[in-house]
Structure 1
Amino acid sequence: MSIFDFAAGSDVASEAGAVCSRKACRAQASWQILWNNPKIHAPERRKTWLACTDHRDWLEDYLQTRGLWKETLPLEAPGEASLEQDI
């Protein structure tokens, strides 16, 4: 992605799908890692990093070491039904 993509208003991220947040990784993400920094975020706020299978453990460890990790959840594909259903 270049600065010209932003200027043109193209949404390359949505075209390419969810990409792993690990630096230089362009793999398809299959996990969402939820975290927050208690020094600057409200306790209920959750920031999200996306992770491929290869980098999930690395990203979790990075956040856990700093006391920022909250939970890891599978990343649902767009339009995929949630496991939780209202009855």
Structure 2
Amino acid sequence: MNPPTADETPQCSAKGCRAGAVWVLAWNNPKIHTPERRKTWLACEEHREHLSSFLGMRGFLKDVVPLADWQTAETP
């Protein structure tokens, strides 16, 4: 994930939500992804728990990290 540009603000991945993202939910589907593969959903404060529960019930959720920390970790 690259840091947003001035005209690109990360948005929550919840359906219909356009709020700014605050959290990164790292996940993978073990049936189709290698163990080290991480896909990401973004979440606002309001939808963090809902999206985490959705992924967690399926055994997909691997980590929940503040967006600022994720961007810092991804920047070379």
> TM class, shorter-chain normalised?
0.7 to 0.9
Aligned-pair RMSD on alpha carbons? 2.1
Structure number with higher relative contact order (C-alpha < 8 Å, ≥ 6 residues apart): 2
* Deviation at residue 40 of structure 1 after TM alignment: 0.3
**SS state of the match for residue 32, structure 1?**
strand
How do 1:1-87 and structure 2 match up within 5 A?
14=5, 15-76=7-68, 82=72
- Structure 2 stretches of 5 or more lacking a match? none
Compare CA radii of gyration and give the structure with the larger one: 1
5+ residue gaps, structure 1? 1-12
Name the % identity.
Answer: 50
TM-score, reference length from structure 2: 0.81
Aligned length: 68
